[in-house]
A and B are shown apart, each in its own frame.
Chain A
Amino acid sequence: MSDAISTVKKKAEEVEKVVVRFAGDSGDGMQLTGSQFSFTSAMFGNDLATFPDFPAEIRAPLGTVEGVSGFQVQIGKIDIYTPGDQADVLVAMNPAALKSNLGHAKKGGNIIVDLDAFDKRNIEKAGFSANPLEDHTLDDYNVVQAPISSLTKTALESIELDNKSIMRSKNMFALGMMYWLFDRPLTDTVRYLEAKFKKTPALIEANKKALYAGFHYAETVEALPSFYKVPPASIEKGKYRHVSGNVATAWGLMAASEKSGKRLFYGSYPITPASDILHELSKHKNFGVITLQAEDEIAAICSAIGASYAGQIGCTASSGPGLALKGEALGLAIMSELPLVIVDVQRGGPSTGLPTKTEQADLNIAIYGRNSEAPAIVIAASTPSNCFEFAYMAVKLSIEHMTPVILLTDGYLANGSEPWKIPNMSSMPDIVIPNPPNLNGSGFLPYVRDKEKLSRYWAIPGTIGLEHRIGGLEKQEETGNVSYDPLNHENMVRVRAEKVERVANYIPELEIIGEGVGKLLVVGWGGTYGGLFTSVKELQQSGRKVDLAHFNYINPLPKNTKDVFSKYEKVLVCELNMGQLASHLRSKFPGVKIESYTKIQGQPFTVTELKEQFLEQLKNNYEHNGRDQEEIYKTGLYQRSIGSVVSGLRRLLHPVGNAKCITPNGCCQRGCGVCIRNRLCCTIPVLHEYLWLPYRTWKRPGCSYRS
């Protein structure tokens, strides 16, 4: 069969970027459809970003909202950093998919539904009171009612296949329609189908037929008067491939293994959304990768620690609940000062939480979540493809500094994918193994340290002459013997902390996207990069003074962090939690005004909501007149407005009731509204601020409000 080419003359509408969302029952093959569409678009030369959004249930009841699986992709001729906020085109394979995805569809956009699926039973199951195709539910959209199921059946009449297999091809029909709508070739998908169903030619035939049928059907549909043209993006020259965050993570670990000449040992217990790293690594045993599917999360990390002790790269991955279980063993790795990489693919929590949804709420547990003083290096990847780079860096830092590294990714990065300019191994930085120095006849002491990094040396068991014992009990400096000496303990606690702090000398400085000075600095970390970058860039292009600084290295922080912050009137930390990085930064830089913008819905930020928030923040910075008095009273004292002075004075005068301080930062850690002194300490800075007086010298001990 030759490639289908549209013959009907319809109008082409050129767009810079477009968002497509596929939604159907979890058995409808929407993930496959979405990834094929993405792949074809990537081959065509578009930049893109994807976001699969699927249920936790293996197979929720057919036709229910709980069982809907979605896949969103944004393609563009411009650089694309997010899967997009709302879909220009939504494909809904049944009423439940329409119901749960309507919120993701752009008003005025196209909705393509499988008309055959809209029977009474399915409509009821989805929770619609009436057929949404017949009432006014979809008035704001251009709806294409395509009898996808029956047309697929007709198209596949001549093929000898059971009804179930035939109906499973309907996703290809829908994909074919999309290929017409976006003027895409079918060849890449055909090649894919031929490889995938090599053993059952009937399935190749069925899927191909459905694909072509969909394509030809779409060009006859009156409701689709035009098709989109999304020209190739002008992206950097080179060889590209598609990669998801989890695969990139696995490859980054493998790359570090190859570069360092150490075997990769990966101990892991299956957990969503981290399991794909285990799946990927277990394919590559010929690279010397050892994978152990451990009996539990604890064994996963402990076996990795054992492997590190034996001289290979010990590595484990999990999600939040697993990281909680690994805490004790992580302490052992910190105490025994061994290399260890722990990947935490964050998901919604606490407890089992939202296993298939994304969140950034494991930052606190990564930085602080262990008994006693147990510092670890914490880094975070920020795009699906740079999971490769940061997995590689996690291994490098861990080996070179002889201490555990926690790499944070998240469900959004892990399952999301994007085109990736393939790096060459020769361009990856060297990994220097901290081999013990020449002993010149003296015995090996396990806790003798490198003078610059403060890291100890890695003596490999089995080597004659380097015999030594390590463990979880406190160690005497240099000898590593068990020691209960009080001063030695204090010294060792401080040395371990200092060792991690000194990693700041070996990591890149914080980069600023923007002018480096101004009214508002947006700060983010990890997987929110795409949304933050796009929002900030768009505002910058419209002339707004807003910059972005995005953290990949979190503990220790880049050395220039405070300098960067000090150039801005306001620092706004945006994250998918209740403000964990904001709190961390406030404790590190108490003099800097740090505010927090958060979202905790298991979904990434949308560019729309971010831009609205930034504009609001810019307004707050210098506009105060005309604000609603009640709003000022509620939202607190941080505004430079007469209103806040009034409300501050009110607080001063009324010792009970509304006296509780409700500044976004919380005025005073000891709790306000209790004693007059605290209220004073809130109010006076406001007065000073209003009058533009240098109030910074005025400070009551214990008050953190802009002190």
Chain B
Amino acid sequence: MNTYGFHTVHGRGPAVATGVKLANPKLSVWEVQGDGDALAIGGNHFIHALRRNIDINILLFNNEIYGLTKGQYSPTSQMGKVTKSTPFGAVERPFHAAELVMGAQGTYYARTIDTNPKLMTEIFVKAAKHVGTSMVEILQNCVIFNDKTHGAITARENRDDFQLHIEHGKPMLFGKDKNKGIKLNGLKLEVVTVGENGITEKDILVHDAHTEDPTLHLMLARLTPPKFPMILGVIREVKAKAYYQMMEEEFEMSKTRAKYHTMDELLHGGETWEVK
């Protein structure tokens, strides 16, 4: 594949991509970030690209470490994490990317893991089709500085019990025998087994990615092993106008209202006088 690419500055990708998209809305714009990039130095651009619903696709590769600068903790590193800059363990609470997405009223959030190209492709295609800013979090391993950081989810022996691939309109079932599921109990989610304690498939939560209310999306996105499986797939996909669409509507509206249509008209319009 040959395409256009712009390697910008650490953290500033969403801002540059915003300019690209607004200057030429016909382009399909993809923006690749890391956890420190998107959530630390570029945190501001990241949340605003989501809030504005610029129609760009953000791929957030989250390996919970600064790899390129050789191994410091990142804003997604777990508390207590020992790194070069935290020899006694990190004392900061980590960001959950999904919480920022929901907090910024993002319209699309999906999560995948680096070793599942099939799921990744599926999610990317959906992200491309989504109108508005799509944020895909990719749980990535860093073999050098943070090996097996997502091991609790990605390891072969853990896959069935700690990954739940959700799809819109389908019940949230997982496990080797697809008999474990997520149930909403009051204001809390819990893991139940179909066939045990009178639980039937009807009790299992059915995923609604299209609901505007982010509450349940947020609850799902926050689930982590060992008590829960990690939710993978498209967690949120909500319809809303993209920034460029509203911008183009403004252009059309302003054309009908405008008094001046060329620079000469503008410069010579308004209060002027003739010196003879």
A-side residues, CB < 8 A to B, are: 39, 42-43, 45, 235-242, 251, 254-255, 258, 263, 265, 267, 284-288, 290, 292, 294-296, 298-299, 302-312, 314, 328-329, 331-332, 336, 421-425, 460-462, 467-473
Tell me the bound Cα distance from A294 to B48 in angstroms: 9
User: Which chain B residues (16-38) contact chain A, with CB distance < 8 Å?
Assistant: 16-24, 26-27
* Residue numbers in B under 8 Å from A303 (CB-CB): 15-16, 18-19, 22
Q: In the complex, which residue of chain B has the Cβ closest to the Cβ of A309?
A: B6
Instruction: Assess whether B273 is in contact with A239, with CB atoms less than 8 Å apart.
Output: yes
Q: Is the pair A302, B19 in contact by a Cβ cutoff of 8 Å?
A: yes
In contact, A302 and B273 (Cβ under 8 angstroms):
no
Q: What would be 18 A-B contacts, judged by CB atoms less than 8 Å apart?
A: A255-B267, A286-B257, A295-B15, A302-B19, A310-B19, A310-B20, A310-B23, A312-B24, A328-B9, A328-B12, A332-B8, A422-B267, A460-B24, A461-B4, A462-B27, A471-B6, A471-B7, A471-B8
Q: Are A462 and B275 in contact (CB under 8 A)?
A: no
Q: Is B177 an interface residue (CB 8 A)?
A: no
Complex interface: chain A residues within 8 A of B264 (CB):
424-425
- Answer whether residue B187 sits at the interface, using C-beta atoms and an 8 A cutoff: no
CB–CB A241/B24 < 8 A: no
| Cβ contact within 8 Å between A241 and B4 | no
Q: A241-B271, A265-B23, A461-B4 are in contact. Are A286 and B44 (CB under 8 A)?
A: no
Q: Which residues of A contact B271 (CB under 8 A)?
A: 39, 43, 241-242
- A413 → chain B closest CB, angstroms: 19
List of B residues within 8 angstroms of A305 by Cβ: 8, 16, 19
A295 touches B45 (CB 8 A): yes
For residue A536, give the distance in angstroms from its CB to the closest CB of chain B: 26
Chain B interface size band reads 35 or more
Give complex CA distance A473, B22 in Å: 25
Contact partners of B274 in chain A: CB under 8 A: 238-240
Given contacts A251-B266, A285-B251, A286-B251, contact A307 B4 (CB under 8 A): no
Bound complex: CA A639 to CA B272 (Å): 53
Is B255's CB within 8 Å of the partner chain A?
yes
Known: A295-B48, A305-B16, A310-B19. A240 touches B275 (CB 8 A): yes
Given contacts A45-B273, A239-B274, A290-B247, 4 further A-B contacts (CB under 8 A): A240-B274, A258-B262, A302-B12, A306-B16
Is B202 interfacial (CB 8 A cutoff)? no
Contacts of A45 in B (CB 8 A): 273, 275
A694 to B46 Cα, complex, angstroms: 65
B185 at the interface (CB under 8 A from A): no
Q: Judge whether B250 is part of the interface by a CB distance below 8 angstroms.
A: yes
CB neighbours (8 Å) of B262 from chain A are 258, 425
A292 near B22 with CB under 8 A, answer: yes
Closest residue on chain A to residue B255 by CB atoms? A286
Tell me the bound Cα distance from A239 to B3 in angstroms.
51
Is there an interface contact between A468 and B4, defined as CB atoms closer than 8 Å? yes
Interface string of B238-276 (1 = CB under 8 A from A): 000000000100110011011001111011101111111
Q: Pick from A235, A311, A425, A472: contact of B8, CB below 8 A.
A: A472
Task: Kindly provide the distance from the CB of B114 to the nearest chain A CB, expressed in whole angstroms.
Answer: 23
CB distance from B88 to the nearest CB of A (A): 32
B266 touches A284 (CB 8 A): yes
Partner of B254, one of A242, A286, A309: A286
**Is A302 in contact with B9, judged by CB distance below 8 angstroms?**
yes
Q: Do B45 and A461 touch (CB < 8 A)?
A: no
Determine the chain B residues whose CB is within 8 A of the CB of A331 once the complex forms: 9
Most buried by B among A240, A242, A461: A461
Do A462 and B26 touch (CB < 8 A)? yes
Residues on A with beta carbons closer than 8 Å to the beta carbon of B267: 241, 251, 255, 422-423, 425
Query: Does B44 contact A295, Cβ atoms closer than 8 Å?
Result: yes
For residue B186, CB closer than 8 A to chain A, the reply is no
By the criterion CB–CB under 8 Å, are A290 and B22 in contact? yes
Query: Is B5 an interface position by the 8 A CB rule?
Result: yes
Quick check: B273 and A314 within 8 Å, CB to CB? no
A307-B20 contact given A39-B271, A285-B251, CB 8 Å threshold: yes
Q: Inside 8 A of B18's CB, which chain A residues have their CB?
A: 292, 299, 302-303, 306
Q: Identify the 8 closest CB pairs spanning chains A and B, nearest first.
A: A306-B19, A471-B7, A302-B15, A303-B19, A307-B23, A469-B5, A310-B23, A299-B15
Q: Do A241 and B44 touch across chains, with their CB atoms under 8 A apart?
A: no
Say if the beta carbon of B197 comes within 8 Å of chain A: no
Flag if A470 contacts B22 (CB, 8 Å): no
Which residues of A lie under 8 Å from residue B275 when comparing CB positions? 45, 235-240, 421
A467 in contact with B22 (CB, 8 Å): no
Q: In the complex, what distance in Å separates the CA atom of A326 from the CA atom of B258? A: 33
Q: Which residues of A contact B21 (CB under 8 A)?
A: 306, 310
Contact of B272 with A422 in the complex, beta carbons under 8 Å: yes
| Residues in B neighbouring A265, C-beta threshold 8 A | 19, 22-23
| Residues from chain A with Cβ under 8 Å of B215 in the complex | none
B273 touching A461, Cβ below 8 Å: no
Q: For the complex, what is the distance from the CA of A265 to the CA of B273, rounded to whole Å?
A: 32
Chain A residues lying within 8 Å of B273, measured Cβ to Cβ, are 42-43, 45, 239-241
* Contact between B276 and A237, CB atoms less than 8 A apart: yes
B56 to chain A: closest residue by CB: A306
User: Is residue B2 contacting chain A, with contact meaning CB distance below 8 A?
Assistant: yes
A309 touches B27 (CB 8 A): no
Nearest chain-A residue to B41 (Cβ)? A298
Residues of A within 8 A of B17 (CB): 306
Known: A302-B12, A302-B15, A471-B6. A461 touches B20 (CB 8 A): yes
Chain A residues whose CB sits within 8 angstroms of the CB of B44 once the complex forms: 295-296, 298-299
Q: A254 to B263, Cβ gap below 8 A?
A: yes
Q: Which of B123-153 contact A (CB under 8 A)?
A: none
Residues of B contacting A309 in the complex (Cβ-Cβ under 8 angstroms): 6, 16, 19-20
Tell me, rounded to whole Å, the shortest Cβ–Cβ distance linking A16 to chain B.
Answer: 18
B4 touches A467 (CB 8 A): yes
Question: Which residues of chain B come closer than 8 Å to A307, judged between CB atoms?
Answer: 19-20, 22-23
